[in-house]
Amino acid sequence: MRKKTRTKEIREIRIRLLIQSFPQMTCEEMRAEGNASARIQFVLLGFSDRPNLQGLLSGVFSIIYIIVFIGNSLIIITTRLDAALQTPMYFFLANFSSLEICYVSVTLPRILVNLWTQDRSISMLGCATQMCFFLMLGATECFLLAVMVYDRYVAICNPLHYPLVMNHKTCIQLAVGSWLSGIPVQIGQTCQIFSLHFCNSNQINHFFCDIPPILKLACGDTFVHEIAVYVVAMLFVAVPFMLILASYGKIISTILRLPTARGRAKAFSTCSSHLLVVLLFFGSATITYLRPKSNHSAGTDKLLSLFYTIVTPMFNPMIYSLRNKDVIAALKRLLLKKIV
């Protein structure tokens, strides 16, 4: 009997020692784990702080979406059908217009649904999917804008080599590379962010699932994730932007050396539209992702995000068509052909 009692005591001591060998979770950590596993829905607050403007915002965003879709579709159709626009510059412009339709479609339909139904909930999977596509298309836009300025650089600075350098195969490779290069990195970044535990709140103070407002909901130290965001932003935003600025420096110096005022005006006109789009997009995106976390505020983030997600895609068709005589002439020919 004593032997059995002794064996039982030894077994209990061993179990107690085994339990003590594992790291213990604090009450706060256990509560965070429970909240993170239970919370599978986020709430996009969007513009809920402006209840009197819901109808107006719904109408404005609906009109913007129609303008973006029709304007960019017209550019795609015109550059495909008009023989005079079968050049690398307009090939990349058609790709850019296709990208803008996709880019806006990631965020704007969701905004409209939230405004129409006032149901602002979004699942974690839905939020991760929206963020992933948004980041991938954003990376594509950065690369495609850089490719477009490279096309102008070759055309203006090396005009004799332009047909050889920017041949059809090269244009296809540059376009495909722009569309695909950011996919692996942005999928990895999205998975990294949504591997965090969210215990602070489930309310996203934004109109779509973007990185800064999502990181604010995470519990624990997010320093490593913030560094990863900065590194990716430098790679996909800052580097293309610096290459674009360097290319434009060379382009402008070449234009200023042209002998005739008419030649300088024509060269500037082909670049000014692209430069305006670059400044609008990269300016707002750089401030959003590269400024210190302490300077982030919900109102400023929303305003800046409106610029590079909605305002820039809306103005792109106007900028590229109204400031481009070739596109206007091609649109007139297309419309006259349809009427006849």
Q: Which of 237, 229, 236, 209 is nearest to 106 (CA)?
A: 209
Res 182: pLDDT = 92
Q: Extract the tokens encoding 171.
A: 């244009």
Q: What is the pTM of this model?
A: 0.82
N-to-C CA span, the chain: 109
Q: Extract the tokens encoding 13.
A: 């001591």
Helices (H), 234-322: 239-256, 261-290, 298-306, 312-322
Least confident span in 130-144, 147-161, 271-285 = 271-285
193 alpha carbon, distance to own chain's centre: 16
Q: Extract the tokens encoding 314.
A: 């809306």
Long-range contacts of 62-68 (CB under 8 A, 24+ apart): 62/112, 64/108, 64/310, 64/314, 65/104, 65/108, 65/109, 65/112, 67/314, 67/317, 68/100, 68/101, 68/104, 68/108, 68/310, 68/313, 68/314, 68/317
* Alpha-carbon distances of 55 from 43, 109, 298, rounded to whole Å: 20, 15, 22
Residue located via tokens 């596509």 = 133
Band (226; pLDDT cuts 50, 70, 90): confident
CB 236 within 8 A of CB 142: yes
Average pLDDT over residues 329-333: 82
Res 13: pLDDT = 52
Average pLDDT over residues 167-183: 95
DSSP codes joined into one string, 17-56: HHHHHSPPPPHHHHHHHHHHHH--EEEE-TTTT-GGGHHH
- Could you give the dihedral angle defined by the CA atoms of residues 308, 311, 316 and 321, in that order, rounded to the nearest 10 degrees? -170
| E strand residue ranges, the chain | 41-44, 121-123, 203-204
| Beta carbons within 8 Å of 62's beta carbon, 6+ residues apart | 112
Q: Extract the tokens encoding 134.
A: 């948004």
Q: Does 151 or 266 have the greater pLDDT score? A: 151
Q: Does residue 336 carry a pLDDT above 70?
A: yes
Q: Extract the tokens encoding 203.
A: 């309310």
List the domains of the chain with CATH numbers.
Answer: 41-339 (1.20.1070.10)
Res 9: pLDDT = 57
Band (83; pLDDT cuts 50, 70, 90): confident
Average pLDDT over residues 211-237: 87
